[in-house]
Amino acid sequence: MLPCGTFLILCSLTAVCYCTTDFLNLFGYQVTGKTLTTVSTSDDLVCAEACAKNKSCWGFQLVEYSTKCILFQSLTGITQDDTQCTYYVKKLGPVKVAGQSLSFIDELRVSLMYASKKACPDGWTQNGKTCYLVSDELSCYLIPSALGAFWNGSACVLPAMNTSYTCESVSFTLYNATDGEFCYLAIPQTATTSNDTQRYGYYNNICYEQTGGGSLASIHSSAENDFIDDMGALFMIGLIATSGKISSASDVSWIDGTPVDYTQYKDSTTPPTTTDFYFTIVDLYKDFVTDYTTIPERTSLLCRVAATLVLTKN
């Protein structure tokens, strides 16, 4: 087990050793929620991998002095407990409450409460314009004050929220993809005339830094591919060779860990083969070309990051 750290980011690793899910180790905080399942391990990375692969998992506890890891769903709260350093939560997309300011920990709490991005927090019941959860008074008043929660004597009540999305900068383009709301950023690159000295990992790091946690874009529908084409130029995307070479369709994956449920190759269902993969470029015909070794003229990195969820009280 790693030493306790204030907000330590761990990475759930894919077979190609790229981070697909970030987790925060909450030093001095305890997480409450519904148990999803348990995993027999004392390795936090193994536990993170198990949580990342389960869409219902939002965090886990690596129980001290044991080989027990508890996966959580429907997280109901994060409360301060200076004795704890065994809880980890997924780092989800950014969130705002209209007209309110959130501290880092309160933003984390709210993002986890509204992980499903619905009018009520996960595990709560909606009743018209309000949401409620049977709880004790103390638990209710530990909820971030920006949400306007109050205890009615038997349950915690807060306003149902309207949800919308925004991007943090006008440089980004907002789009409703099949797998969620995302902000896209095109970063122009200089063309190269000989084999590029850098590969997709280098360019993916640029996306991560410039978007605050994003990656080279994955594409999951023809509509999304059309949207990207409308942005103009050629784009480097996050389709990568799992083992460094491509001979069949099963040899590719998305760098962000999402499923390969859409591809477009020229006259084939198989990507262009290569024994030395560099990166994938979407050409002017919207085809995914996987055998480039140089960056063509008018090429940009296409970066994708989760849009900011905006909660507005009804």
What torsion, rounded to 10 degrees, do the Cα atoms 204, 251, 52, 12 define? Answer: -50
Q: Residue 2's pLDDT is what?
A: 42
SS3 135: coil
Q: Residue 175's pLDDT is what?
A: 97
SS3 48: helix
CA 65/CA 38 separation, integer angstroms: 15
Q: Residue 287's pLDDT is what?
A: 96
Amino acid at 300: S
Q: Residue 20's pLDDT is what?
A: 59
Residue ranges of the domains in the chain?
35-73, 112-157, 174-306
Q: Residue 84's pLDDT is what?
A: 87
Q: Residue 18's pLDDT is what?
A: 35
CA 70/CA 130 separation, integer angstroms: 31
First to last CA, the chain: 44
247: how many CB neighbours lie within 10 A of its CB? 13
CA 255/CA 263 separation, integer angstroms: 14
Query: DSSP for 104-129?
Result: HHHHHHHHHHTTT-SSS-TT-EEETT
SS3 274: strand
Is residue 286 left, alpha or beta, with left meaning phi > 0 and alpha meaning psi from -120 to 50?
left
**pLDDT, mean of each 10-residue run, the chain (314 residues):** 44 40 84 90 89 86 91 80 88 91 89 90 92 90 91 96 95 94 95 85 94 94 95 93 91 91 90 93 95 94 96 92
Q: Which residues of 157-182 are buried (b: 16+ CB within 10 A; e: fewer)?
A: bbbbbeeebebeeeebeebebeeebb
Q: Residue 262's pLDDT is what?
A: 95
Q: Residue 75's pLDDT is what?
A: 75
- φ, ψ of residue 214 to 5 degrees: the values are -80, -170
Write down the CATH superfamily of domain 174-306: Mannose-Binding Protein A, subunit A (3.10.100.10)
Q: Residue 279's pLDDT is what?
A: 96
Where are the alpha helices (H) located in 150-217, listed in sequence order?
200-211
